[in-house]
Structure 1
Amino acid sequence: MIQTENDAAPGRRERKKRETRQALADAALRLALEKGPDNVTVEEIAEAADVSVRTFFNYFPHKEHAILGRNPEHLELALERFRTAPAEQSPLTTMWLVVRDVLRDLESEGELSRRGELIMASPDLLYHLMLSSIEDERRLTVALAERLGEPAGSVRAALIISSAGTACRVAMEAHKQAPERSLRGLVDEAFQLLADGIDPRFHRNRTQKGQA
C-alpha cells in the first residue's frame, strides 16, 4: 500500500514530539549535573533545547519533571501490558516486564546511571519522584485490580504495584552504593525476593503466636 503524505503526517508529528521531549529531558539533566538541580531554570532548559518556554510547558509541568525525564508513554505502555497480558501470567511477572521495558528505554538513552545518582542525591527530586510515582501507582493499581477481577480498593493489587515500585527504588540505592553491579540485575534480584517472600518465617511465627 502506498502511504500518502497525510497518512505519514501523524507519524512524523509523534516522532517530533518524542524528539522534543527527549531534547528537553537531556538538556535538563545536563544542566542539573553541571549546576545542581536547584540552580537550573525552565528558561535555561528551554534555551538549551532550542525551544520556547511555552513549548517546555507543553511537555513538562515544571523543571523537576524534566530533570527526572518523566515520559507519560511509559505509563501508557504499562497500562497496555496489563490489558493484554496472558491470563496465565502472574501479576508480579507483568509488573517485572513493565519495569524491564522502562529500564531498556532509559538505558538506550544512555543517562540512566547519572540521572539515578542525581535523583538519589537530591531531596527535592526524590520528593517529586515520590509524588509522581504515587499517581502512577494509583492508575496501575486500578488496572491490575480490573485484570484480577477485584474491586478498585484491592489491597493485593495495591501491594503488588507499590512493592514493585519499592523494589526499583531499593535497586537504585543499591546500585548507587555498588555501581559495579548491574541495575537490571539488582532489579531482578529484588523482584525474585518479592516472589519468594522476603520473610518466609512471618506466617509461621504469627501462627505460633496465635497458638500460644
Structure 2
Amino acid sequence: MTSSVNIGDLGLRERKRRRTRSSLVAAARRLTLESGLNGFTVEHLCDEIGISRRTFFNYFPSKEDAVLGSTAEELPEEILDDFVASGRTDPPTPLIDALTELFAEFGSRLTISREEYETMSAVLHREPQLMPRLFARAEAKSQLLIDLIIAREGLPADSPTPGVATSVLAGLARRSLDEFFADGNELSYPDVIRRNIDALRYLFPSSPPEAASGLPASNQDPS
C-alpha cells in the first residue's frame, strides 16, 4: 500500500509542476504580447521563470507550444472508456446524451480564467501564425472523438456520422466557451454547453434510425 507520506509528496510535486507550467505559459504569452514571437528566446523565457533550458523541454517541445499552453487536463482513460461502454448498455444511452456528458466533463476541467482567455485571444490576434498549431491540436482531439464514436456505435470507418457529430459538437463547444467568458455570465461551462446542445435538440428533435448506418435514408432498403 502507498503510505500517506508518499501521497502527500506526490500531491506536492504535482502542484509544483502545475505552478511551473502555468508560470511558463503566462510568461510566454506576456513576452509575445510585448515583443512578438521573434522577440524572445527559450533561454530568455527560462531566465524569466528561473528554470533551466532542460527543465523547459520537460514541459513543452517549443516556445510556440508554451505560448499556446493548455486549457484543460486530458480526460482520464476511464471516462473515455465509460463513453464507449454507454453505447452497449441495455438500453444504450443515446449518442447525443453521451456526447453531452463527455463535453460537460471536459468543460468542467477547464483551467483557463477569463483573463487568460482574453490574453490568448490577444496573442492570436498579434501572432496569427500560431493558428495552424492550434488547429492541429483541435484536429488531433477531433480524431480521437471520431474514433471513440466509431467504437461506441460500431460504425464503419468511412461512415460520415462520427465526423459530422464531432464537427457540430466542436462548434458548439467553441461557442459555449465564448458565452462562458462573456461579461455577465453566471453559468458554469457544463451548464452552457448543455443549454446549447438542448438548442440543437430543438432544431433536430429526432433522427431516423437509418442515419446510424452512414447512408442517406433514401438509400435504405425499406423491406
Normalised by the length of structure 1, the TM-score is: 0.70
Residue 53 of structure 1: CA displacement? 1.3
Residues 52-91 of structure 1: pairs in structure 2 closer than 5 A: 52-70=52-70, 74-77=73-76, 80-85=78-83, 87=86, 88=93, 90-91=97-98
Verify: 1:97 aligned to 2:95, yes or no: no
**Correspondence list, 1:4-153, <5 A:** 4-70=4-70, 74-77=73-76, 80-85=78-83, 87=86, 88=93, 90-103=97-110, 105-107=111-113, 110-151=115-156
Deviation readout 1:5-44 (Å, 9 max, x if unpaired): 3343333222222222112111112212222234232222
Select the structure of larger CA radius of gyration. 2
Distance 1:99-1:3 versus aligned 2 partners, 3 A rule: closer
Q: Which residues of structure 1 form unaligned runs of 5+? A: 201-205, 208-212
Structure 1 residue 60, shift from structure 2 partner: 0.8
**Structure 1 residues 18, 151: closer, same or farther in 2, change over 3 A?**
farther
Q: Counterparts of 2:166 and 2:44 in 1: how far apart (Å)?
A: 36
SS at match of 2:73: helix
Match of 2:211 in 1: none
Q: Percent identity?
A: 27
Does the 8 Å contact 1:24/1:66 carry over to 2?
yes
Letter in 1 for 2:74: L
Higher fraction of helix = 1
Describe the SS at the equivalent of 1:75.
Answer: coil
Aligned length: 194
- Structure 1 segments of 4+ aligned residues over 6 angstroms from their partners: none
Contact 1:23 1:49 in 2 (8 A): yes
How many angstroms apart in 1 are the aligned matches of 2:40 and 2:193?
Answer: 31
SS of match in other structure, 1:54: helix
- For residues 55 and 75 of structure 1, the distance between their equivalents in structure 2, rounded to whole angstroms, comes to 21
- Other-structure match for 1:164: 169
- Tell me, in whole angstroms, the C-alpha distance in 2 between the residues paired with 1:61 and 1:12: 24
The separation in 1 between residues aligned to 2:126 and 2:197, in whole angstroms, is 24
The runs of 5 or more residues in structure 2 that have no matched partner are: 87-92, 207-215, 218-223
Q: Give 1:150 shift.
A: 3.4
| CA distance in structure 1 between the partners assigned to 2:125 and 2:196 by the alignment | 18
- The DSSP-based 3-state class of the residue aligned with 1:111 is helix
Q: Is 1:82–1:144's contact at 8 Å kept on the other side of the alignment?
A: no
2 CA distance for matches of 1:153 and 1:75?
A: 27
CA distance in structure 1 between the partners assigned to 2:102 and 2:125 by the alignment:
23
Query: What is the root-mean-square deviation in Å for CA atoms of aligned residues?
Result: 3.6
Q: Give the TM-score taking structure 2 as reference length.
A: 0.67
Q: What CA distance in whole angstroms lies between the structure 2 residues aligned with 1:38 and 1:181?
A: 36
Check whether the contact 2:36–2:127 (CA below 8 A) recurs between aligned residues.
no
